[in-house]
């Protein structure tokens, strides 16, 4: 009988210190430890983390798992795609096979995190991109700091937003996920909280004290995961030092409405047409016109193949559960390894100094047909599927999104409309802040939604538009 843990055993060349593990009472910490490489994730690190998570899952002494990154700049800046592209260039099919093996390992880890039965917390303290997103966004508790820089930059390197991006991004509010996926736009600091990428925001200076405090928590044996997460959430708020000054939601108001409007079409060409209309609309604000122009310029730099495949991924991913997402992404990754844009994009953007503009094949959107796109999603007969590590814990919506993080727009709508009673702005904001026990950022998020989606009648009560 084959050893199920064989693929996670140390291999020649693995760095023994690229991940550090520590214990503090009930807390188990995982620290990515490649600061000179911005903690870029590689196979050696994955082979260490998976067995530890499985060990912690079985241990009655391990109550809370926290993952973070070493150094002042990054949580994890992504997977080590430079090494993968170099291997493909040097070794051809053998390099592509190695890359497929790496993505299989990575997605197994990400799925394990997404379905983990114990409290798992990610400290997004620094650059959080690509592979770092996979290690964090599926955690029920995701803490942003003033150092957070979140992005999914894959369309700029001839790839697609993987690591469960098929699941996470379409479930952000409105068309934010599609916008972030296609443009690779960044969210900095508290903006990651407002967008739903993070569930909490605290200053980085208190992370060490928070870790120590979490180690002091004692849970009843019969406490379920939901109650444990709520206890942890309240504990995090003990370290609330307030929002940074002058930090209202940026993807808000007319700009947020324009994002939802422009990124809702089902083709990239229609998205570009919508942006062109926005740029020249006499009714649009100058801020929105400038944003549309900048977004058009950004999209023009991306891989046409990546853009079209990614948009299709966002639409299909909205219907996938977590198991579907990672298994389908495994096939997508293999298709991209066989496509010239991945090596071209990584070589030009990451390996070449200074970075240059990639030569995409094909170089124009109109040259990427619908059949070309569908071929990326077609699973060929006999093609090996990804064998995930956990069974029976998959879901179609994040199970704790309604109790952790800021209230979603649909929750604000429910309060405004509930019971057929009209409410004032102050009543709605007060109810939602109280319901979230005063969590940082709730007031700002609710007020932004009300500004954008509600009108006020002659009695001073809110009326939801649409």
Task: Produce one character per residue of 1-26: b if its CB has 16 or more CB atoms within 10 Å, e if not.
Answer: eeeeeebbeeeeeeeeebbeeeeeeb
> How open is the CA angle 253-256-261, to the nearest 5 degrees?
125
What would you report as the CA-atom Rg of the chain, rounded to the nearest whole angstrom?
A: 22
DSSP 32: E
**Residues facing 123 on adjacent strands:** 143
> How open is the CA angle 53-28-407, to the nearest 5 degrees?
85
Is 104 assigned a catalytic role?
no
Instruction: Choose, from 106, 162, 341, 447, the residue flagged as catalytic.
Output: 162
Instruction: Choose, from 110, 154, 394, 447, the residue flagged as catalytic.
Output: 154
Is 79 assigned a catalytic role?
yes
Instruction: Choose, from 78, 79, 165, 345, the residue flagged as catalytic.
Output: 79
Round to whole Å and give the CA distance between 309 and 268: 10
What angle do the packed helices 268-280 and 304-317 form, to 10 degrees?
100
Instruction: Choose, from 68, 95, 131, 132, the residue flagged as catalytic.
Output: 131
The tokens describing 62, both together, are 């391990």
The tokens describing 277, both together, are 């209309």
The tokens describing 325, both together, are 């997402």
- Nearest Cα to 119, choosing from 240, 215, 208? 215
Is 455 assigned a catalytic role?
no
Round to whole Å and give the CA distance between 438 and 46: 37
Residue positions counted in the chain: 466
Round to whole Å and give the CA distance between 226 and 232: 10
Is 154 assigned a catalytic role?
yes
The tokens describing 39, both together, are 């903690």
**Residues facing 122 on adjacent strands:** 67, 142
Catalytic residues, which ones? 79, 131, 154, 162
């Amino acid at each position: 009988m084959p050893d199920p843990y064989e693929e996670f055993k140390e291999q020649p060349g693995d760095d023994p210190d690229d991940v550090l593990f520590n214990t503090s009472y009930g807390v188990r910490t995982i620290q990515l430890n490649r600061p000179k490489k911005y903690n870029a994730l590689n196979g050696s690190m994955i082979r260490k983390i998976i067995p530890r998570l499985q060990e912690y899952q079985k241990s009655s002494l391990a109550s809370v798992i926290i993952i973070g990154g070493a150094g002042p700049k990054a949580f994890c800046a992504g997977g080590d795609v430079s090494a993968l592209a170099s291997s493909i260039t040097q070794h051809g099919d053998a390099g592509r096979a190695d890359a497929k093996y790496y993505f299989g390992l990575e997605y197994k880890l990400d799925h394990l995190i997404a379905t983990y039965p114990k409290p798992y917390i990610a400290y997004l303290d620094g650059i959080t991109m690509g592979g770092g997103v996979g290690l964090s966004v599926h955690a029920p508790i995701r803490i942003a700091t003033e150092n957070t820089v979140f992005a999914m930059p894959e369309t700029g390197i001839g790839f697609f937003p993987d690591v469960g991006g098929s699941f996470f991004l379409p479930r952000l509010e409105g068309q934010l996920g599609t916008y972030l996926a296609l443009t690779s736009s960044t969210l900095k600091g508290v903006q990651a909280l407002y967008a739903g990428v993070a569930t909490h925001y605290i200053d980085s200076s208190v992370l060490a004290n928070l870790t120590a405090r979490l180690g002091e928590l004692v849970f009843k044996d019969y406490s379920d995961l939901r109650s444990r997460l709520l206890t942890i959430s309240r504990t995090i708020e003990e370290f609330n030092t307030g929002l940074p000054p002058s930090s209202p939601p940026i993807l808000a108001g007319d700009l947020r409405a324009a994002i939802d409007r422009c990124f809702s079409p089902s083709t990239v060409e229609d998205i570009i047409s919508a942006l062109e209309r926005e740029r020249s609309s006499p009714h649009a604000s100058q801020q929105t016109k400038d944003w549309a122009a900048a977004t058009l310029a950004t999209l023009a730099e991306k891989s046409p193949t990546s853009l079209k495949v990614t948009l299709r991924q966002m639409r299909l991913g909205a219907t996938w559960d977590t198991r579907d997402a990672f298994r389908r992404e495994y096939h997508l990754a293999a298709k991209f390894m066989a496509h010239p844009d991945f090596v071209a994009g990584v070589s030009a953007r990451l390996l070449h100094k200074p970075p240059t503009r990639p030569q995409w094949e094909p170089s124009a959107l109109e040259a990427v047909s619908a059949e070309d796109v569908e071929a990326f999603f077609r699973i060929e007969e006999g093609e090996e599927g990804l064998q995930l590590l956990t069974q029976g814990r998959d879901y179609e919506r994040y199970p704790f999104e309604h109790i952790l993080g800021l209230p979603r727009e649909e929750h604000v709508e429910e309060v405004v409309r509930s019971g057929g009673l009209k409410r004032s702005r102050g009543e709605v904001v007060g109810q939602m802040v109280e319901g979230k026990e005063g969590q940082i950022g709730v007031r700002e998020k609710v007020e932004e939604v009300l500004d954008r989606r509600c009108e006020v009648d002659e009695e001073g009560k809110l009326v939801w538009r649409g």
